[in-house]
Structure 1
């Protein structure tokens, strides 16, 4: 968790672990890593609580380092002061100014506009807030991609979303990159904006 004062000092950090939560950073081969070394994040709850996937013992085993120590699949590191920084994120989420923003909600709204064929919402670097919301849109045939339409789409979002969820910017592509199964490849969309950044989300 992180408060406003900590955010000013550690902008971009997820915060320090709760007192009852231990974070263990694990590298390739299961080696435990020290400060500022990125690896898979594992969690141990001092209360002794754990979880398992229903009727899926193999899946449960895959996410456990040992009994009571589990991972969500996120990658990151602890700095010298014990603050957690994410390097890669399994869950599709934007953290802006310490607030969690879920792209799917914004994508549903933008996808409802008559001129939008496809949309992907990603987080891009912001010096003050860590990340800001950007939408990348492909349009239906005949629609003109210009600044006026971007403003129109942002106004459309403002009618249906809280202000902090409205994309700060909208870019247009002829088509969005997808996998063979049709899933949008957000990593490819994010890459140009994060090039040269220490953080990659």
Structure 2
């Protein structure tokens, strides 16, 4: 009986395009087998799981179906991203597994039906594909209990280069490990992960640099684009384009996308750190922080925020709130309040589009 060679290309997946033009990424049978094995090894799976897919199946929600199917599970597919319907489907189908981007999870936490539906069937509630607010994650842990789970990966290393299991969110005494809530977890099984400087030297714990990895999880490359394929793996490692550091226990903390670092007045400001501070405010549902050209500072730290339903906030009060947490240099010089933020089909905030709009309106 003929079998498919493990290095055959199984699919070509488009990148999200949140930081540049989308590219096609080749994923082999080996890549998908590795991703499925890591997921089954790392997260809880009782027999016959029920998986609820809200996000498009062409992205994270789709590939998370693979491990569920290997367990003989059931996939419930939503036709549109209706948060109220999502909650009621969990109760109706006794859903055990689901996945949301942080933006959609924030909407769940603010939804009026949340306290009236039974979500006790959940075993694993993944969040990922974008940075998660630590303050809102703590809220989710109090509401859903020890089922929240994170992953860090990218289209080129699908989904699970690192894993943050439900248990990793807690200390041995059962209290929430607030010091780890901004972590993306530890290197997944079958993945070797390191932090590297621009000269290819590995950085010690605590020192930031580019996140690089080696694994059978990593793509063979970009179709008909040998230049991009070669550029993605200098020094024999896959380079993610993300900046982060490892702590002494091997937990990864993602500082920022390399392209999103802001240089203002000679200081490096990581937008993800500022976004965490902005998101601590209970009136903020979502935000994007970026740099815009400035004749005095080189770049001016700027924030666009979306307010949670039923809340209001004064910009001066928000400025003081953030300054208290990150200091004057990192605090946005300008806060803009929008009714909604543009997002990709998988729910990621399109920071590049927001920045272009702000710069265009200022010009």
Match of 1:179 in 2: 344
**How far, CA to CA, are the matches of 2:233 and 2:331 in structure 1?**
41
Q: CA deviation at 1:180?
A: 0.9
Of 321, 331, 335, the match for 1:166: 331
Q: CA deviation at 1:121?
A: 0.7
Report which of the two structures shows the higher radius of gyration computed on alpha carbons: 2
Tell me, yes or no, if structure 1 residue 54 matches structure 2 residue 214.
yes
Aligned 1:1-201 pairs, distance under 5 A: 49=200, 53-55=213-215, 58=220, 62-64=229-231, 91-144=259-312, 149-195=314-360
**How far, CA to CA, are the matches of 1:72 and 1:127 in structure 2?**
33
SS at match of 1:141: coil
**How far, CA to CA, are the matches of 1:120 and 1:134 in structure 2?**
8
Q: CA deviation at 1:132?
A: 0.8
Give the TM-score normalised by structure 1.
Answer: 0.55
Q: 1:73 touches 1:90 (CA, 8 Å); kept in 2?
A: no
**How far, CA to CA, are the matches of 1:196 and 1:72 in structure 2?**
35
Q: 2:262 touches 2:301 (CA, 8 Å); kept in 1?
A: yes
Q: CA deviation at 1:142?
A: 2.8
**How far, CA to CA, are the matches of 1:99 and 1:144 in structure 2?**
32
Q: CA deviation at 1:73?
A: 8.7
Q: 2:213 touches 2:238 (CA, 8 Å); kept in 1?
A: no
**How far, CA to CA, are the matches of 2:233 and 2:330 in structure 1?**
38
How many equivalent pairs are there?
134
**How far, CA to CA, are the matches of 1:71 and 1:128 in structure 2?**
37
**How far, CA to CA, are the matches of 1:65 and 1:165 in structure 2?**
30
Q: CA deviation at 1:69?
A: 10
Q: 1:64 touches 1:70 (CA, 8 Å); kept in 2?
A: no
Q: CA deviation at 1:66?
A: 9.6
SS at match of 1:110: helix
Give the TM-score normalised by structure 2.
Answer: 0.32
Q: CA deviation at 1:159?
A: 1.2
Q: CA deviation at 1:178?
A: 0.6
Gaps of 5+ in 1: 1-43, 75-88
Q: CA deviation at 1:50?
A: 7.3
Q: CA deviation at 1:64?
A: 3.5
